[in-house]
Amino acid sequence: MLISPIEDNNFREGKMTKLKAHIVSRGRAEGDALVTSQPISFLGSIDMKTGIVIESGHELAGKSIKGKILVFPGGKGSTVGSYAIYQLKKNGAAPLAMINIKAEPIVAVGAIISDIPLVDCVEKNPVTAIRTGDKVLVDAIVGSVEIL
């Protein structure tokens, strides 16, 4: 479900700010968005101590997910990725919340055991509707994403 340039302009002009979303892991968080169109493997692609993306060639390489609203299509890789998300949380290097196009079990379980709000199936493609640096409120209690 991609956004046409006309729809995106209407969205950006403030005609729509709140998007419905499916709740995967309950909670609420507000912060700056960090957006990628590439899937993320939490095991081996992210430094567990700092939250910095270390995967060579990834469009977020060198950037930290710590304290961000992480927007990405979904996860990839090993089921140990769920524990990697938990380890990020324990180390204080996790994102505040996550938004996926479609969450898969590895990211879903990681978010749930780490108490990180996670939504997916947003009514507009979050990877194109949200830009890095946008202030975003993820409300995974009522099921919405709001660009502030």
| Domain harbouring 82, CATH code | 3.50.30.10
Domain of residue 80, residue span = 5-147
Q: How many domains does the chain have?
A: 1
CA distance 50 to 66: 7
**What are the pLDDT digits (tens) for 53-67?**
999 999 999 999 999
Q: What's the predicted TM-score (pTM) here? A: 0.89
pLDDT at residue 2 greater than cutoff 80:
no
CA distance 143 to 148: 16
Contact 122, 139 (CB under 8 A): no
pLDDT at residue 5 greater than cutoff 80:
no
Contact 63, 71 (CB under 8 A): no
pLDDT at residue 3 greater than cutoff 50:
no
Which residues are known catalytic residues? 78
**What are the pLDDT digits (tens) for 109-131?**
999 999 999 999 999 999 999 99
Contact 19, 142 (CB under 8 A): no
CA distance 36 to 126: 10
